[in-house]
Structure 1
Amino acid sequence: MTDNCAIWAAVLSARPPHIRTMYEYLLTVDGDEARARAQAETIADQPESAANIHTTILHVFTENDETSVQEITAATLARDILTDAGIAVDLDETVGDPTTAILEKAEQVDANRICVSGKKRTPTGKVIFGSVTQGIILSTQRPVLVCSADD
């Protein structure tokens, strides 16, 4: 078994340096800082090398106002955690239905993983109020990381 591992390591190290495995994460934030922190820390703790991770942080505004994603503390907190971990980050924003906008952005950036934050809701609450997280999970073939802040 050890010989096989050594051979595999030799094959990987022989790859040309310009061939890299890059992981694209789409991290979606609302205004909750604790959830944004949990999401960013989850991505920072992934097994991939930080140099091989790029994260797009997306905030979806439900109506067009004068606010920018740069003014959303949860988004800038997540950005700071990820950049401190050596992960490349872009901040992005859009206006519209959150589920639709997130799925469209995941397609646009060709996300390997979508990172969302779940809120604690009863099944009845999900039916009455809807669930962006549930909508994303049910509507995509991409892996979805669901994080929650410690209460």
Structure 2
Amino acid sequence: MPVVAAVDQSERAQSVIRAARRLADDAAVSLHVVHVGEVGVPNPEGGYDADHERSLSTQKATQMARRIADDVDGVEEFDPVGLTGNTAEELIEYSTAQDADYIVVSARKRSPFGQAVFGSVTQALLLNADRPVVAVPSDHE
């Protein structure tokens, strides 16, 4: 039953990882740092293998999760996890499969218009996850 820290490549990820680390330490559980990437675009000239592209995207996302967490001081123990697909859906599916205690995400400030136009992974998680979602304000906003 880990704590899942959902991270992107922004500076907000550091706040998410620090908060998730504290929750994991308090509960004496592992920390999973999760980055969700996108599957590559098919090559119009052929040679596209969907399974291979998904595998490459997952590897890249795992490497990104490791790189992001490695940049946070005081976080030595974590499991980097790479997923591909729709960010909110993948995070919910992974957190359910792992029986995560929490999903920790960044609370990004957006205008109501920005929320309506761009949507929000945090909002989708808050509305659809079957476990606690912790929205962490950024140190950089």
Give the structure-2-normalised TM-score. 0.74
Residue type of the alignment partner of 2:19:
T
Residue type of the alignment partner of 2:98:
V
- Asked if residue 135 in structure 1 is aligned to residue 135 in structure 2, the reply is no
Can you give the 5+ residue segments of structure 2 that lack an aligned partner in the other structure?
41-52
Residues 91, 80 of structure 1: alpha-carbon distance in 2 compared, 3 angstrom cutoff: same
Aligned counterparts of 1:31 and 1:85: Cα–Cα separation in 2: 17
- Asked if residue 60 in structure 1 is aligned to residue 36 in structure 2, the reply is yes
Q: Quick check: 1:29–1:59 contact (8 Å CA) kept in 2?
A: yes
Aligned residues: 124
Task: Determine which of 92, 100, 105 is the counterpart of 2:81.
Answer: 92
Aligned counterparts of 2:71 and 2:118: Cα–Cα separation in 1: 31
For residue 133 of structure 2, what is the aligned residue in structure 1?
144
Aligned counterparts of 1:54 and 1:48: Cα–Cα separation in 2: 8
Deviations 1:76-109 (CA, angstroms, capped at 9, x unpaired):
2425648x356x4111111111111010010111
**Identity over aligned pairs, percent:** 27
Aligned counterparts of 1:112 and 1:47: Cα–Cα separation in 2: 9
SS at structure 1 position matched to 2:23:
coil
SS at structure 2 position matched to 1:53:
coil
For residue 61 of structure 2, what is the aligned residue in structure 1?
69
* Equivalence map 1:26-41=2 (5 Å): 26-32=4-10, 34-41=11-18
Can you give the 5+ residue segments of structure 1 that lack an aligned partner in the other structure?
1-22
Q: Quick check: 1:99–1:136 contact (8 Å CA) kept in 2?
A: yes
- Deviation larger for 109-118 or 40-49: 40-49
| TM-fit CA distance, 1:71 | 4.3
Aligned counterparts of 2:111 and 2:91: Cα–Cα separation in 1: 23
- Say which structure, 1 or 2, has more relative contact order (CA 8 Å, 6+ apart): 2
Q: Which entry has the higher C-alpha Rg, 1 or 2?
A: 1
Residues 75, 130 of structure 1: alpha-carbon distance in 2 compared, 3 angstrom cutoff: farther
Q: Quick check: 2:21–2:75 contact (8 Å CA) kept in 1?
A: yes
Deviations 1:97-151 (CA, angstroms, capped at 9, x unpaired):
1111010010111100000112211122111111000000000121111112222
For residue 116 of structure 1, what is the aligned residue in structure 2?
105
| TM-fit CA distance, 1:70 | 5.0
